[in-house]
Amino acid sequence: QVQLVESGGGLVQAGGSLRLSCLGSGRTFSSNVMGWFRQAPGKEREFVAAISWSGDSTYYADSVKGRFTISRDNANNTMYLQMNSLKPEDTAVYYCAARNTRLPGLRVTTRDYIYWGQGTQVTVSS
């Protein structure tokens, strides 16, 4: 069982930066592929980025590639999302998620992740 808690959201002007954190509990954190998703009002939840167990492999949605960086610190059970050059269209609730323990693959669909945080709001003003 993995429990996830996000933090770091807030209000920022376009062009600014934020860093989101996701603190995980449970002994298997380092054995879970992790991801970030986001959901804007009236839209479906969409994939943002994913990271492998060790952190040496990452994958990004085209919309954030080159602006966002996903990373993890397994010693502290924490995953991060550094968001730079933010745009108003990045406004959404951001969720961290984990795949089942020991399942590989940087997947991009919500059904491939079974553990979810409660979300943190990111608002980018123009």
Residue pLDDT, tens place only, 31-68: 899 999 999 999 999 999 999 999 999 999 999 999 99
Question: What average pLDDT does this structure show over 91-107?
Answer: 93
Tell me the β-bridge partners of 69.
82
Question: What average pLDDT does this structure show over 84-106?
Answer: 94
Tell me: pLDDT of 101 over 90. no
3-state SS record for 79-102: EEEEECCCCHHHCEEEEEEECCCC
Question: What average pLDDT does this structure show over 78-104?
Answer: 95
Tell me: pLDDT of 28 over 90. no
What is the CB neighbour count within 10 angstroms for residue 109?
Answer: 11
Tell me: pLDDT of 102 over 90. no
Q: Which residues, 6+ apart, have CB-to-CB distance to 122 below 8 Å? A: 9, 10, 12, 18, 20, 38, 83, 86, 90, 91, 92, 93, 94
CA distance 97 to 57: 16
Angle value at C-alpha 25, between 92 and 76, nearest 5 degrees: 90
Phi (first) and psi of residue 29, to 5 degrees: -50, -45
